[in-house]
């Protein structure tokens, strides 16, 4: 039987005992072998020529070739954009010239998707928030957590990176005619909807989400600088203004930071603790080495981000049997969040790699600035490695700096050691690995898993990313929302009822209570048998909905399938007339 333990192949440490091995040597060997494998497998998942992407059109990044248990043979805007950002970065580092054609296929594919009518709307009514599509670039019309507002800013970030390269190499016509229109649509969507809730990156909670807010802020900052570069000063000012508003939102207007417990609350809704890989991913994907350890943008080496990392990692120490017996100052396998039940709730390769990457980013900045700082907020993080350390600033010439830096490097590589332990011998990476056995689980050959290994390796190797303008930012003294104009939508349904029965309404957006029968909107029976309710809904918003019947005993009867769908007007009011079915 094929061993599931990559470390058996390496022969670098025992899987039977908890004897502490040398994670630095293991990480060195793992990356040396795994980076070419991850690269090959990532490219295999990009159409049309990828070995596992049959049926995908040019430039389409499939999430996974898995078609059942689960079916991930789709393209998600978020995942595709994160993967393509990695591809673009590698191309611009002169690692592989053949990647250029993939990038240049990706941009027109995204331009086509932007214009495609879908369940979230069209290009002017919120359709850019549609999270996933079929790999032949047709809309996915099944029920899903929509809209998701992280896709457009992530796509803008990736394409702006390439667009700057095109300008640097004397191709302004290509940028203005073909690339800028794609970027602008995403930036305009982000500027308009950043203050409107949507589903988080795990597609489960509809609320404000740290990852989404952080990515939106970065996209508008980069977008403003790019707009200025191509002679669009009015747009640049508009994007900068909304970026400032988001920064204020991140720091002051929403309780993302939990000061009493020292972690970032990843979602403002959902009923969970909020301790979530969402926050780790938000920090590493908004890393700007020019900003140092700035807590304003939750940079990876900031005291808040380090405190948050400790709380996040510790949340998994006692829930996964494969972590049992690991000392509290050593790395463990991590998942999305402790309450996770998807596929039974297991560790993920990409989240464990993200923990390592945050630490590699921190190490890079400490080396660049020549010191590290311990504050009362980050003290618990650093005392994992030196229980006598005190708050203060430690220069790179001090013994404390040497001890802490070496311990953090060791700690970071331990996360890679964990991944190596549960990587199959062929180097393939699924979405998850079993909490008890370490066996790969869920979607096979997950593209994002491969990308996470490549970005962690780049950070470990000291590849300095381009600044996106996070340095020296100040939180505005007054937070301003970007209120989306509202329209009045009257829902009117003809329904015969018995004594004690009432008609309610729920649907796919916040205004319709996100499919919650408990919080569904009550309709008035004053014009019986016509039941009515008027709801304020953001203009130009596509939504799905159903009426439900609540009986006197509290039981609920839903209308028959499929879900109804409609959209709010661009202004004014609208009445929707239905009959119970």
The active-site residue, picked from 49, 104, 188, 203, is 203
Three-class DSSP category at 190: helix
Q: How many CB atoms lie within 10 A of CB 562?
A: 11
Burial bucket for residue 67 (CB in 10 Å: 0-12, 13-18, 19+): exposed
User: Contact at 8 Å (CB) between 362 and 304?
Assistant: no
96: tokens are 């592989």
130 is catalytic: no
DSSP label at 510? Answer: G
Kindly state the tokens that stand for 507: 């649907």
CB 208 within 8 A of CB 196: no
**Which pair of structure tokens corresponds to residue 444?**
């096979």
% helix / strand / coil in the chain, to the nearest 5? 40, 15, 45
Residues linked to residue 440 through DSSP beta bridges, in sequence order: 433
Sign of CA pseudo-dihedral 532, 536, 538, 544: negative
Answer whether 278's CB lies under 8 Å from 350's CB. no
Q: How far apart are the C-alpha atoms of 220 and 470, rounded to whole Å?
A: 11
Question: Dihedral (C-alpha) 404, 410, 416, 418: value to the nearest 10 degrees?
Answer: -110
Measured over the CA atoms of residue 264, residue 202, residue 287 and residue 219, the dihedral's sign is negative
Rounded to 5 degrees, φ, ψ at 374 are: -105, 125
Residues 6+ positions from 542 with CB-CB distance below 8 Å = 119, 120, 121, 122, 125, 126, 127, 565, 566, 567
Output 557-560 pairs: Cβ under 8 A, ≥24 positions apart.
Answer: 558/517
Phi-psi region of 472 (alpha: psi -120 to 50; beta: other; left: phi over 0): left
Q: Find, among 459, 449, 450, 418, the residue nearest to 435 by Cα.
A: 418
- Cβ(246)–Cβ(213) under 8 Å? yes
Asked if 200 is an active-site residue, the reply is yes
Q: Using CB atoms within 10 A of its CB, is residue 299 exposed (0-12), middle (13-18) or buried (19+)?
A: buried
Give the rounded distance of the alpha carbon of 245 from its chain centre: 20
Please say whether the beta carbons of 545 and 558 come within 8 A: no
448 is in an annotated binding site: no
| Catalytic member of 79, 200, 340, 559 | 200
Tell me the three state secondary structure of residue 24: helix
Nearest to 538 by CA among 147, 213, 245, 145: 147
Q: Could you list the residues known to form a binding site for substrate, using ranges.
A: 144
Q: Could you list the residues known to form a binding site, using ranges.
A: 144
User: Catalytic residue numbers?
Assistant: 200, 203
């Amino acid at each position: 039987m094929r061993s599931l333990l990559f470390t058996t192949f390496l022969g670098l440490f025992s899987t039977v005992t908890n004897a502490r091995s040398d994670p630095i040597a293991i990480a060195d060997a793992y990356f040396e072998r795994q980076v070419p494998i991850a690269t090959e497998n990532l490219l295999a998942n990009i159409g049309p020529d990828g070995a596992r992407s049959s049926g995908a059109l040019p430039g389409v990044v499939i999430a996974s070739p898995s078609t059942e248990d689960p079916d991930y043979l789709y393209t998600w805007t978020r995942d595709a954009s994160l993967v393509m950002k990695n591809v673009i970065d590698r191309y611009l580092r002169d690692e592989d010239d053949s990647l250029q054609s993939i990038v240049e296929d990706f941009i027109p594919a995204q331009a086509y998707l932007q214009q495609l009518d879908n369940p979230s709307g069209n290009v002017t009514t919120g359709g850019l928030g549609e999270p996933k599509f079929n790999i032949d670039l047709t809309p996915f019309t099944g029920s899903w957590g929509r809209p998701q507002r992280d896709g457009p800013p992530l796509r803008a970030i990736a394409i702006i990176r390439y667009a700057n390269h095109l300008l640097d190499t004397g191709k302004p016509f290509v940028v203005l005619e073909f690339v800028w229109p794609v970027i602008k649509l995403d930036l305009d969507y982000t500027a308009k909807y950043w203050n409107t809730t949507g589903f988080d990156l795990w597609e489960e909670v509809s609320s404000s989400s740290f990852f989404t807010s952080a990515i939106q802020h970065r996209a508008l900052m980069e977008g403003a600088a790019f707009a200025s570069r191509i002679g669009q000063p009015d747009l640049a000012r508009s994007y900068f203004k909304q970026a400032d508003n988001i920064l204020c939102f991140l720091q002051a207007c929403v309780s993302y930071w939990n000061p009493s417990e020292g972690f970032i609350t990843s979602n403002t809704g959902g009923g969970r603790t909020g301790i979530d890989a969402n926050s780790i991913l938000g920090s590493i994907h908004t890393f700007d080495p020019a900003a140092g350890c700035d807590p304003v943008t939750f940079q990876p080496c900031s005291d808040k981000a380090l405190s948050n990392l400790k709380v996040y990692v510790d949340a998994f120490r006692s829930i996964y049997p494969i972590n049992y017996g690991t000392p509290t100052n050593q790395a463990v396998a991590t998942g999305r969040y402790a309450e996770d039940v998807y596929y039974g709730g297991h560790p993920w390769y990409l989240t464990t790699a993200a923990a390592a990457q945050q630490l590699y980013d921190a190490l890079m900045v400490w080396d660049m600035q020549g010191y590290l700082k311990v504050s009362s907020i980050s003290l618990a993080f650093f005392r994992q490695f030196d229980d006598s350390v005190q708050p203060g600033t430690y220069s790179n010439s001090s013994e404390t700096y040497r001890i802490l830096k070496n311990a953090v490097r060791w700690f970071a590589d331990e996360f890679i050691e964990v991944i190596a332990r549960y990587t199959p011998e062929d180097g393939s990476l699924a979405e998850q690995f079993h909490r008890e056995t370490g066996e790969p689980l869920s979607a096979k050959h997950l593209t994002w898993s491969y990308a996470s290994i490549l970005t962690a390796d780049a950070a470990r190797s000291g590849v300095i990313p381009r600044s996106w303008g996070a340095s020296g930012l100040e939180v505005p003294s007054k937070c301003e929302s970007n209120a989306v104009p509202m329209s009045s939508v009257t829902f009117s349904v003809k329904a015969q009822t018995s004594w004690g029965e009432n008609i309610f309404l729920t649907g796919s957006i916040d205004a319709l209570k996100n499919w919650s029968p408990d919080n569904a909107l009550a309709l008035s029976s004053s014009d019986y048998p016509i039941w009515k309710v008027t709801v304020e809904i953001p203009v130009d918003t596509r939504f799905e909905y159903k009426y439900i019947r609540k009986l006197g005993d509290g039981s609920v009867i839903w209308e028959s399938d499929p879900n109804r769908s409609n959209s709010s007007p661009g202004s004014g009011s609208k009445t929707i007339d239905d009959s119970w079915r």
